[in-house]
């Protein structure tokens, strides 16, 4: 490539924190004009730190020394003294535009969208003439394909959906006419179908504005699908870089290979699961029949919200049933109803000949039968309780015959079962990584000797390689202990990895229920197809483009 082609050049970028840690250890890369570069890595790999350090956006209060050089469109931003300035400019354009993970956090809840845009215009010295200002604001929103821009201008952030908010954030980023658009996990907080739309938009804008962009993500298949070139970061260094296609087919570095192995492609035909006829012949352990959950209306004269609308689900011992849906589909309300934490308005949940209720007197029985694995392992454990004690509490409730010594021994055995060293029993949750904490949550659940495990998005807070391990652990436990498991998730990769049957929910109803292989290869419901189409994959076997 010629020098004039390079829009962004980062050379030997280093970040030294005051604490002595070095999250970025000499990172160099070029991005050509109009290119989309992907940076992939797990938490702690330094990918976000790289993005922030080179753009002068290190988190407030972080004491760090940044060295190296950053050149945008031929102008060097970083000086020998370290940090690039806040909001650097090159010529009359901003050097960078930013899109962050959580659009709600990027917007001020007290400001209308109009005010956000005006602030951005002012910051970039582009307020201009009052007469056509309104038209320019409308045009900025129309540019990011927001419907009804006039209405959006008058709205506050909370009145918009997640996807619309992220479009607003992109519009704000584009106001400074940036040379480079930096996007840090821009779709992680969004539903899959919405995420796909937002990324489509970024690519369209990229073509229209001949924009250069850097996309940072933990999701290898997403980056590979969207970007021209990919950098893989690990431990603050770039361990591999190359064209996206090459990286997916022939990864060179062991870390990339491991990452790729851990990344489940739902459309990989090798993942076919052979059903066990013995398991399939079993009678269901837990049956939900016509379950309906409604929440009272928020305001008077509004109808109550029907979160779950006549849902039938059954799970047998030794099988994993996945309930898939986007946010608002009612899958979490269904999970709460199954766990007896949410009253059922119609229908019933039957378990071992009894009906599940929210009655406090049934709690000990119910929690001995149904245990939960929570979404966020960082908040599911009491920070003031060593993990061994956390497991022993569950034992004390559900196996009261055990004395203190045998409780302790049993808790250690459970740590073995979930693949943690026994020495962890004295540790506090803060000393454990996310994956380790989630294993403790699983061990605590097993301590109750349940027959059914309810896992609500058990992997969404974890890194990709850790996700794969945890899913393998859950499947293994289901097989070894003949548990019935309900996996509540939006993630088809997780479903593909361990589920036997899938139930797809939309707006409180089941739209499709099928064995996993059938669902992946021949989805019948249009909504299921849309969900599957939004999954980033290299081996997709069908697309809506073909079918519609």
Partner 1 sequence: MTALDPTTAADPLSPGGVDPVLDPASARPQRVWRQLHRNPKTLVGLLVLVPTVLVAILAPWLTPYPYDQVYVGEVLGAPDADHLLGTDLNGRDLLSRLIMGTRVVVGIPLVVGLLTLLIGVPVGLLAGYLRGPFDAVAMRVVDIFLSFPWLLVALGLASVLGAGLSTVVVTLVVVYWPQVARVTRNSVIAVTEAEYVKAAAAIGESRTSIVLRYVLRNAYFPVLVLLSSMMAFSILNEAGISFLGFGIQSPDTSWGLELAAGSTYLSAAPHLVVFPGIAIVVVVLGMNLFADGLGDLLSRQGRNR
**Interaction with partner 1 in 266-325: which residues (CB under 8 A)?**
none
Select the span of 31-39, 43-51, 117-125, 172-180 touching partner 1 (CB under 8 A).
Answer: 43-51
The residue (of 180 and 288) whose beta carbon lies closer to partner 1 is 288
Q: Give the up-direction half-sphere exposure of residue 467: CA atoms within 13 A in the CB hemisphere.
A: 29
Q: Give me the least distance between CB of 174 and partner 1, in Å please.
A: 33
Among 34, 82, 235, 347, binds partner 1 (CB under 8 A): 235
Among 17, 62, 279, 397, binds partner 1 (CB under 8 A): 397
Among 50, 367, 506, 528, binds partner 1 (CB under 8 A): 367
Among 31, 448, 483, 494, binds partner 1 (CB under 8 A): 448
Count of C-beta atoms within a 10 Å radius of residue 92 = 10
Which letter, b or e, does each residue of 102-129 get, where b requires 16 or more Cβ atoms within 10 Å of its Cβ?
Answer: bbeebbeeeebbbebbbebbeebeeeee
Residue 60 falls in which region: left (phi positive, over 0), alpha (psi -120 to 50) or beta: beta
Decide if 233 contacts 502 (C-beta within 8 A).
no
- Give the whole-angstrom CA distance, residue 307 versus residue 294: 6
Closest CA to 86 of 60, 104, 116, 107: 60
Among 145, 363, 507, 529, binds partner 1 (CB under 8 A): 363
Give the 3-state secondary structure of residue 468: helix
Q: How remote is the C-alpha of 153 from its chain's centroid?
A: 29
Q: How far apart are the first and last CA of the chain?
A: 40
Query: What is the chain's percent helix, strand, coil content, to nearest 5?
Result: 40, 25, 35
Q: Give me the least distance between CB of 518 and partner 1, in Å please.
A: 23
Among 11, 17, 138, 341, binds partner 1 (CB under 8 A): 341
407 sits near partner 1 (criterion: CB under 8 A): no
Select the span of 51-59, 130-138, 158-166, 260-268 touching partner 1 (CB under 8 A).
Answer: 260-268
Sign of CA dihedral 439, 445, 449, 454: negative
Which letter, b or e, does each residue of 164-183 get, where b requires 16 or more Cβ atoms within 10 Å of its Cβ?
Answer: bbbbbbbbbbbbbebbbbbb
383 sits near partner 1 (criterion: CB under 8 A): yes
User: Which helix (H) or strand (E) element contains residue 65?
Assistant: strand 64-72
399 sits near partner 1 (criterion: CB under 8 A): no
- Give the whole-angstrom CA distance, residue 493 versus residue 497: 6
The residue (of 387 and 511) whose beta carbon lies closer to partner 1 is 387
148 sits near partner 1 (criterion: CB under 8 A): no
Select the span of 26-34, 54-62, 321-329, 433-441 touching partner 1 (CB under 8 A).
Answer: 433-441
339 sits near partner 1 (criterion: CB under 8 A): yes
Count of C-beta atoms within a 10 Å radius of residue 322 = 26
User: Do β-strands 484-489 and 320-324 pair in parallel, antiparallel, or remain unpaired?
Assistant: parallel
Q: What is the DSSP letter of 303?
A: P
11 sits near partner 1 (criterion: CB under 8 A): no
The residue (of 327 and 469) whose beta carbon lies closer to partner 1 is 469
The residue (of 180 and 488) whose beta carbon lies closer to partner 1 is 488
- Give the whole-angstrom CA distance, residue 480 versus residue 468: 18
Q: At what angle do helices 162-175 and 192-208 cross, to 10 degrees?
A: 20
Q: How remote is the C-alpha of 457 from its chain's centroid?
A: 10
261 sits near partner 1 (criterion: CB under 8 A): yes
Q: Give me the least distance between CB of 417 and partner 1, in Å please.
A: 12
529 sits near partner 1 (criterion: CB under 8 A): no
Torsion, Cα 351 356 360 363, to 10 degrees, reads: 30
Q: Give me the least distance between CB of 448 and partner 1, in Å please.
A: 6
Q: What is the DSSP letter of 525?
A: S
Among 432, 494, 502, 504, binds partner 1 (CB under 8 A): 432
Residue 328 falls in which region: left (phi positive, over 0), alpha (psi -120 to 50) or beta: left
Among 108, 204, 210, 364, binds partner 1 (CB under 8 A): 364
The residue (of 222 and 264) whose beta carbon lies closer to partner 1 is 264
472 sits near partner 1 (criterion: CB under 8 A): yes
The residue (of 134 and 539) whose beta carbon lies closer to partner 1 is 539
Q: Give me the least distance between CB of 462 and partner 1, in Å please.
A: 9
Sign of CA dihedral 449, 455, 456, 460: positive
Binding mask 475-504 for partner 1 (x = CB under 8 A): ----------------------x-------
Q: Give me the least distance between CB of 64 and partner 1, in Å please.
A: 17
Number of residues in contact with partner 1, rule: CB under 8 A? 59
385 sits near partner 1 (criterion: CB under 8 A): yes
Q: Give me the least distance between CB of 56 and partner 1, in Å please.
A: 24
140 sits near partner 1 (criterion: CB under 8 A): no
Which residues lie near partner 1 (CB under 8 A)?
42-45, 234-235, 255, 258, 261-262, 264, 339, 341, 363-364, 366-368, 371-372, 374, 376, 379-385, 393-394, 397-398, 419-421, 426-428, 430-436, 439, 441, 444-445, 447-448, 463, 465-466, 468-469, 472, 497
């Amino acid at each position: 490539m010629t020098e004039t082609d390079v829009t962004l050049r980062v050379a030997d970028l280093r970040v030294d924190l005051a604490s002595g840690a070095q999250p970025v250890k000499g990172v160099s890369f070029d991005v050509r004009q109009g290119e989309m570069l992907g940076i992939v890595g797990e938490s702690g790999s330094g990918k976000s730190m790289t993005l922030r350090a080179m753009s002068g956006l290190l988190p407030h209060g972080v004491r760090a020394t940044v060295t190296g050089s950053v050149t945008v469109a031929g102008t060097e931003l970083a000086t020998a003294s370290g940090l690039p300035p806040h909001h650097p400019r090159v010529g009359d354009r901003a050097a960078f535009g930013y899109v962050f993970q959580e659009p709600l956090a990027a917007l001020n809840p007290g400001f209308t969208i109009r005010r956000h845009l005006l602030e951005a215009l002012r910051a970039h010295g582009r307020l201009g003439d009052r007469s056509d200002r309104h038209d320019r604001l409308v045009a900025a929103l129309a540019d990011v394909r927001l419907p009804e821009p006039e209405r959006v201008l008058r709205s506050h952030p909370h009145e918009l959906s997640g996807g619309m908010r992220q479009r607003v954030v992109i519009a704000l980023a584009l106001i400074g006419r940036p040379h480079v658009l930096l996007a840090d996990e821009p779709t992680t907080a969004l539903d899959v179908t919405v995420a796909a739309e937002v990324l489509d938009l970024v690519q369209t804008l990229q073509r229209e504005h001949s924009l250069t962009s850097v996309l940072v993500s933990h999701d290898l298949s997403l980056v590979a699908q969207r970007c021209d070139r990919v950098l893989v970061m690990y431990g603050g260094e770039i361990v591999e870089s190359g064209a996206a296609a090459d990286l997916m087919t022939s990864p060179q570095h062991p870390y990339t290979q491991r990452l790729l192995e851990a990344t489940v492609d739902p459309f990989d035909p090798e993942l076919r699961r052979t059903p066990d006829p013995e398991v399939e012949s079993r009678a269901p352990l837990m049956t939900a029949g016509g379950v309906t959950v409604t929440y009272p209306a928020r305001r008077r004269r509004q109808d109550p919200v029907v979160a779950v609308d006549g849902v039938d689900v059954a799970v047998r011992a030794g099988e994993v049933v996945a309930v898939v849906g986007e946010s608002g589909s009612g899958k979490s309300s269904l999970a709460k109803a199954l766990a007896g934490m949410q009253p059922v308005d119609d229908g019933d949940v039957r378990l071992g000949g009894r009906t599940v209720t929210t009655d406090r007197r049934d709690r000990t029985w119910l929690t001995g039968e149904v245990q939960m694995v929570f979404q966020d392992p960082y908040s599911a454990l009491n920070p003031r309780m060593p993990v061994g004690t956390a497991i022993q509490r569950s034992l004390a409730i559900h196996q009261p015959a055990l004395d203190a010594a045998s409780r302790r021994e049993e808790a250690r055995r459970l740590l073995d079962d979930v693949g943690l060293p026994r020495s962890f029993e004295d540790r506090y949750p803060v000393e454990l990584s996310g994956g380790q904490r989630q294993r403790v949550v699983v061990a605590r659940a097993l301590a109750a000797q349940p027959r059914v495990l309810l896992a609500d998005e058990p992997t969404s807070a974890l890194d990709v390689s850790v996700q794969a391990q945890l899913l393998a652990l859950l499947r293994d436990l289901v097989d070894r202990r003949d548990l019935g498991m309900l996996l509540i998730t939006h993630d088809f990769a997780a479903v593909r990895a361990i589920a036997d049957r899938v139930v797809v929910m939309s707006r409180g109803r089941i739209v499709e229920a099928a064995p996993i292989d059938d669902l992946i290869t021949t989805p019948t419901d249009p909504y299921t197809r849309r969900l599957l189409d939004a999954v980033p994959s290299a081996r997709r076997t069908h697309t809506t483009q073909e079918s519609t």
